[in-house]
Structure 1
Amino acid sequence: MRVTLDYNNMTDKFLGDKGFSEKKLSSYASKANAAFRFVKENRGKDELYMGWTELPYNQKEIVADIQATAKNIRKKFQYFVVLGIGGSALGPIMAFNALCHLHYNDLPKSKRKGPKFYVEDNVDPVRMRDLLDVIEPEKTCFNVISKSGATSETMTQYLIILDLLTKAGVNVKDNVIFTTDEKKGNLKKISDEVGGIKSYILPDGVGGRFSQLCPVGLLPAAVVGIDIVGLLAGAAYMDSICNKPAMRHNPALMSAVLQIAAMEEGKNVGVMMPYSDNLKFLADWYCQLWAESLGKNVTLDGTPCNVGQTPVKSLGVTDQHSQVQLYTEGPFDKVVTFLSLKKYACEMPIPHGCENIPDVAFLGGHTMQELIQAENAATAYALTKAGRMNYTLWIPELNAFTLGQLLFLFELQTAYAGAMLNIDTFNQPGVEEGKKATFALLGKAGYAEKKKELDSLPAKDEKCII
């Protein structure tokens, strides 16, 4: 049960002069091989934040512990809430949406595999208020995820929950689990101060956007009944498939080459378009992975570069009615990645009816699976006919094993692409300035100079406010 890459619609055979020739793709062989060697030679190196490459293999005891903890959570609690942001939230949301019932929280308890599930990935006060309207804190397990324990958004959420639990007379150790650094950070300090809060380790060498296959993503997944062993097995399987230096035999490497080659021809927008509601939030997860990893202004040798590709999320069939007009007739600046299922979890027959209305009657006797697959094929055809680059990742069916394959493929693709761009794929210095300004505006110690800088900005020009 293997995820496969079909890049025919990136080639000149299907796109004419808008596509890549064999000669063009072959010209990337040396660069691709160097990227493959870089990733292979640096596997598991924490100092390069490559620890994620070993996650499919080095967590046997951790997985067993997570499974036991998840079982206890399912017995004890009615609600499970993740407090986190960035990869600490996008990963759990993605896996939950991909592998659980799309109306999971609305199902009766007897039909759910675990407690009601929520992820608080923002500090919008209305969002927090509305969460508290639908949960009972004393009946809730809160998973606080932050490597440093200094993430302002996550720790704000934690302070609110801590206050509620304290006022309810609940011992925080009974209702809270930390996922954090093993030896340092504020959550470790908090845990020590209260006599030990159950904690899972966010490993060294694993950045937030690469953390779905460690306890950050595995614990929430296990709580809602997802097969985390299957998830890791799928990742390991894709790793074995991609352990080939020849790009035409390595789907992660080939997809990286396709994107880099397209970027160099001005395709600075990458659209991810799953034809599955279950995969809608995989596009959100991928947007962070691709944008934060590749959006850099300097190469490893210090040369200014300003590289990257803007990821855009789209959903088939929904966005055929909102975005595909742009993709078909707008600027030639996009590559569309289709995520296409060969088999859905159900087919849903379309009954016969309205026989006197041909525009409706023809649908009868088909299935919704046939319809969505036909629309997927038709959209790929229309884009290709219009000379627009697109490729498809084919998923036999959606389960933990194939989702694990997809996640590891995208992580490898990103690592290869970063190596080909000669950038640091695993840092994110561009977010630091905003963090510092936030700290200064809220009066955090040590940011007085930044506050002065902010206060010295020119006043807003009223004529520019209309």
Structure 2
Amino acid sequence: MVHLEHRLARADVIGEGGFTYEDWELLLRRGDEVRAKVRKMGPGFCRLPYDDPSDMVRFARERRGMYSDLVVVGIGGSALGAIALISALSHPYYNILPEEKRGGPRVFFSDNVDPWQLRGLLDVLEPRRTLFNVVTKSGGTAETVATFLVVRRFLEDALGGSWREHVVVTTDPERGDMREVARREGLPAFPVPPDVGGRFSVLSPVGLLPAAFAGIDVGELLAGARDMDLRLKNSSPEEDPAYIGAALNWIFYGKGKRMTVMMPYSRALKELAEWFRQLWAESLGKKLDLEGKVVQVGPTPLRALGATDQHSQVQLYVEGPPDKFFTFIVPEDYGADFVFPEYYPDLDAMGYLAGRRMSELIKAEQIATAYALAEAGRPSMTIKLPKVDPYHLGGLLYMFEMQTAYAGELFGVNAYDQPGVELGKRATYALMGRSGYEGLRGEIEKFLGGIVI
């Protein structure tokens, strides 16, 4: 079971940098109200663990052997969730395993419109053995549809009319230009539920279809999320890890900790922290509160990897500005281990390691980092999970989504929109000459004193 510890965030343990008894009483008083509001609202992502994935699983099972490569074309929430799933649940060197050991296609992500990067990707692909999964919730994401146009030409030049056998679409079930393309061309398509934002869509076909192609048990992912949902529903605020995580971030934001650092001590969970960074930033970074007042709130999410970033960031965290709250994630079982051999027993730097395990070392590194932070009055909480497998990862992902929904209520903002992102999208359309945006282009030219692209 996923477990949250917060002893090293308490003022009676770490001093004035921690939360007080009065803080704890406040967050518990607000718990029932906040959780009830979120449940009454019924965010669309709460339904995803109960959806039937059988069509998706069947599609992946029938086609896995037809392709040597799967390329997911998407950006932001259309890629980060799938990247987190495959990074966590596949062999760490999955793409370079021999095909017979992989059992499925290599998986690549085209999540930017950097022409150098895309050219390099196309150079390593064989069109006849590649399937492209084009993912855009709206059906009109500029970066995704632009890449699709290049991909279609790449496939059509090599395969002619059979290019259609090498594209599957994940988009809105009814609307949007990518849905229209799927209709016109007869492309297989899976839905992104209209009431599920991209950053909350990892447990929809957005994340689950690529995961299924990589051989990940999506049924267990959803089972873990369902069990986490039931656990949160049936717990008190004090026993609800999603609420406590949200409330501690909210309390510490009010104490000047305007940044939240997620630091998994597991390479498998590195991309989970990248996924969380978007979830937290887009959901909570808002100009207006729910009443329309200007508040400009939002904790800035940062990502670090233990133990690697002890040697690049922890100096700042321990002795730099006291403006951060830390979340560590530690698996009990790493899925592999090594016992250190007894070489050079007379050398201090090596002798003490003899007979100890590598898993012991990385866990000791996490405890030591949390201790060093606490000694400096820097608060942290630690999330422990038994192992990184589909069941526990599904529960962890769902917990973080609920934590974000609760945090939206605590901060008093809409956790499901992103008006700041939308302005940038419209400006891009104007700069690229999309019809209907001519006036905005004129405003941009005036503002910047001219435009050169």
**TM-score > 0.5 by shorter chain:** yes
- The equivalent residue for 2:239 is 249
Could you give the per-residue CA deviations for residues 308-344 of structure 1, whole angstroms, max 9, x where no partner exists? 0000000000000010011111111100100011111
**Map of 1:396-415 to 2, 5 A cutoff?**
396-415=386-405
Is 2:5 aligned against 1:12? no
**Map of 1:424-463 to 2, 5 A cutoff?**
424-457=414-447, 459=449
Could you give the per-residue CA deviations for residues 77-114 of structure 1, whole angstroms, max 9, x where no partner exists? 01001000011100111100000011001100111031
The DSSP-based 3-state class of the residue aligned with 1:403 is helix
Please tell me the residue identity of whatever aligns with 1:54.
R
In the alignment, the residues of structure 2 paired with residue 389 and residue 331 of structure 1 have an alpha-carbon distance, to the nearest angstrom, of 13
In the alignment, the residues of structure 1 paired with residue 117 and residue 403 of structure 2 have an alpha-carbon distance, to the nearest angstrom, of 34
The answer to whether the 8 Å contact 1:82/1:144 transfers is: yes
Is 2:280 aligned against 1:287? no
Deviation for aligned residue 1:170:
4.6
The DSSP-based 3-state class of the residue aligned with 1:17 is coil
Please tell me the residue identity of whatever aligns with 1:416.
Y
- The equivalent residue for 1:210 is 200
Please tell me the residue identity of whatever aligns with 1:17.
E
- The equivalent residue for 1:109 is 99
Match 1:371 to one of 354, 361, 375: 361
Is 2:29 aligned against 1:36? no
In the alignment, the residues of structure 1 paired with residue 63 and residue 114 of structure 2 have an alpha-carbon distance, to the nearest angstrom, of 27
Match 1:223 to one of 199, 202, 213: 213
In the alignment, the residues of structure 2 paired with residue 447 and residue 77 of structure 1 have an alpha-carbon distance, to the nearest angstrom, of 40
In the alignment, the residues of structure 1 paired with residue 164 and residue 62 of structure 2 have an alpha-carbon distance, to the nearest angstrom, of 14
The answer to whether the 8 Å contact 1:247/1:254 transfers is: yes
The DSSP-based 3-state class of the residue aligned with 2:361 is helix
- In the alignment, structure 2 segments of 5+ residues that lack a partner are none
CA RMSD, 1 decimal: 1.2
Deviates further, 165-174 or 97-106: 165-174
The answer to whether the 8 Å contact 1:33/1:245 transfers is: no
- The equivalent residue for 2:174 is 183
Please tell me the residue identity of whatever aligns with 1:383.
L
The DSSP-based 3-state class of the residue aligned with 1:311 is strand
In the alignment, the residues of structure 2 paired with residue 192 and residue 94 of structure 1 have an alpha-carbon distance, to the nearest angstrom, of 30
- The equivalent residue for 2:108 is 118
Deviation for aligned residue 1:138:
2.0
Could you give the per-residue CA deviations for residues 391-445 of structure 1, whole angstroms, max 9, x where no partner exists? 0000111100110111011000000010111211100000122112211211111
Q: Which runs of 4+ in 1 moved over 6 A?
A: none
In the alignment, the residues of structure 2 paired with residue 125 and residue 137 of structure 1 have an alpha-carbon distance, to the nearest angstrom, of 18
- The equivalent residue for 1:46 is none
The answer to whether the 8 Å contact 2:222/2:391 transfers is: yes
**Map of 1:148-163 to 2, 5 A cutoff?**
148-163=138-153
Match 1:133 to one of 123, 148, 152: 123
In the alignment, the residues of structure 1 paired with residue 413 and residue 203 of structure 2 have an alpha-carbon distance, to the nearest angstrom, of 24
The answer to whether the 8 Å contact 1:235/1:404 transfers is: yes
The DSSP-based 3-state class of the residue aligned with 2:49 is coil
Please tell me the residue identity of whatever aligns with 2:369.
T
The DSSP-based 3-state class of the residue aligned with 1:355 is coil
In the alignment, the residues of structure 2 paired with residue 272 and residue 394 of structure 1 have an alpha-carbon distance, to the nearest angstrom, of 13
Is 2:50 aligned against 1:51? no
Is 2:325 aligned against 1:332? no
Compared CA separation, residues 359 and 245, structure 1 to 2 (3 A): closer
- In the alignment, structure 1 segments of 5+ residues that lack a partner are 44-49, 461-466
In the alignment, the residues of structure 2 paired with residue 197 and residue 430 of structure 1 have an alpha-carbon distance, to the nearest angstrom, of 33
- The equivalent residue for 2:342 is 352
In the alignment, the residues of structure 1 paired with residue 393 and residue 251 of structure 2 have an alpha-carbon distance, to the nearest angstrom, of 26
Q: How many residues align?
A: 449
Is 2:356 aligned against 1:362? no
Please tell me the residue identity of whatever aligns with 1:332.
P
In the alignment, the residues of structure 1 paired with residue 268 and residue 7 of structure 2 have an alpha-carbon distance, to the nearest angstrom, of 26
Compared CA separation, residues 15 and 244, structure 1 to 2 (3 A): farther
Compared CA separation, residues 426 and 262, structure 1 to 2 (3 A): same
Deviates further, 335-344 or 26-35: 26-35
The DSSP-based 3-state class of the residue aligned with 1:426 is coil
Match 1:275 to one of 260, 265, 271: 265
The DSSP-based 3-state class of the residue aligned with 1:203 is coil
- The equivalent residue for 1:317 is 307
- The equivalent residue for 1:380 is 370
